[in-house]
Amino acid sequence: MAFDISPKAQELKERVEAFMEAHVYDAEEAYIEHIENADDRWTIPPIMEELKAKAKAEGLWNLFLAEFNEYGSGLTNLEYAPICEVMGRSLIGAEVFNCSAPDTGNMEVLARYGTEEQKQKWLLPLLEGEIRSAFAMTEPKVASSDATNIECSITRDGDEYVINGRKWWISGAPDPRCKIFILMGKTDPSADRHRQQSQILVPKDTPGVTLLRPMKVFGSDDAPHGHAEILFENVRVPATNLICEEGDGFAIAQGRLGPGRIHHCMRLIGCAQRALELMCKRVDSRVAFGKKISEQGSIREDIAKSICEIEQARLLTMRAAEKMDEGTYKDAKDLIAMIKIVAPNMAQTVIDRAIQAHGAMGLSQDTFLAEAFAYARTVRFADGPDQVHMNSLGKQIVQRYAG
């Protein structure tokens, strides 16, 4: 299968690879050390802002914005895929290039649906990397994998909307640079089930917004980015903060989640590829029972299966990205569902094999593997759990072939 990658995209990929080699991998340890030793874990390691300034100066910035040439690089989704994979080799990589979630999805929402006022106030600072953002959808009391279950209320009161509800797993909310939430709630519970929801901009410092606690992932708080549980009590924002019209929230969410899902998969393929490379180096440098571990049959089998699985996921990701470019995200929903099912599970499996090959070291802070495993496992929930995608995909396939 041949994919059409422009010379410009290939050059950008090579430049991102060179930047990662020259700056990012060496910065990972300093980044982690700052968080572990800081008086306040929720402060930003200076090395991150230094890396971002360098990447921006080199024009390696906002590469993800496939549809919006006035804001980004003008790459297609297909061209961005291998570049995003390279960024995903480091857990801090995407942020360095201003290409990390949830900002990417929020910037795409504002670019596609925002008013000029909303773009000037929130999109442009996000594009410049001056602030960060969060997407407030998931709730603790309902199965939020079905967005129609959302209970948070958005009620019109004159020239304002009043918001009441509780959200959790709001990624990026504890980050001190986070200044704005895109919140999804219900404006009309009596409407058609897919027209009840709306999305609205809520500044983080609005009275009534209370960050209750950071949520922990396998015991880690993921500082300084983090994931928060948040209470919204009689939070008032101007009516002009509504994105599009009342009832458009579900459709906006579907448009937002398509690129978000495939970006996660792109990054996870890079994560898995790096894990495999570390595994190969590790087993070729250690001796057990009189020979290199790399000479053990079971280890070679694990390596062979891993490279096959990575390449399969890579090709499926590329095909999904290509389909997105050929039509709309809705046209590509079957392939997006496929890769969202495949890539996180693949990455989790490959990273787990790499952990096993490293022995107890694989569980420690001495490699990126333990954190990468947690990331892969988390993405099996993020932007929709496996079961939702499998149910939706299965339904589509039955309709396609059974008529």
The pLDDT tens digits for 182-226 are 999 999 999 999 999 999 999 999 999 999 999 999 999 999 999
* pLDDT exceeds cutoff 90 at 271: yes
Residue from 77, 61, 135 nearest 328 by CA: 77
Are the beta carbons of 323 and 331 closer than 8 angstroms?
A: yes
Q: Which residues does 113 contact at the CB level (< 8 Å), separation at least 6? A: 243, 244, 248, 252
Q: What is the pLDDT of residues 286-331, one digit of tens each?
A: 999 999 999 999 999 999 999 999 999 999 999 999 999 998 778 8
Percent of the chain with pLDDT over 70: 99
* pLDDT exceeds cutoff 90 at 349: yes
What confidence score (pLDDT) does residue 269 get? 98
* pLDDT exceeds cutoff 80 at 255: no
Are the beta carbons of 107 and 76 closer than 8 angstroms?
A: no
| Confidence band, pLDDT 50/70/90 cuts, at residue 254 | confident
Q: What is the residue-averaged pLDDT of the chain?
A: 94
Q: Which residues does 70 contact at the CB level (< 8 Å), separation at least 6? A: none
C-alpha to C-alpha distance for 210 and 232, rounded to whole angstroms: 7
C-alpha to C-alpha distance for 363 and 359, rounded to whole angstroms: 8
What confidence score (pLDDT) does residue 73 get? 81
C-alpha to C-alpha distance for 343 and 371, rounded to whole angstroms: 17
Average pLDDT over residues 38-62: 96
What confidence score (pLDDT) does residue 398 get? 96
Phi, psi of 44 (to 5 degrees): -85, 125
* pLDDT exceeds cutoff 80 at 257: no
What confidence score (pLDDT) does residue 68 get? 67
* pLDDT exceeds cutoff 80 at 258: no
Q: What is the pLDDT of residues 76-120, one digit of tens each?
A: 999 999 999 999 999 999 999 999 999 999 999 999 999 999 999
What confidence score (pLDDT) does residue 145 get? 83
What confidence score (pLDDT) does residue 69 get? 63
The domains found in the chain, sorted by start residue, are 7-128 (1.10.540.10), 132-243 (2.40.110.10), 250-402 (1.20.140.10)
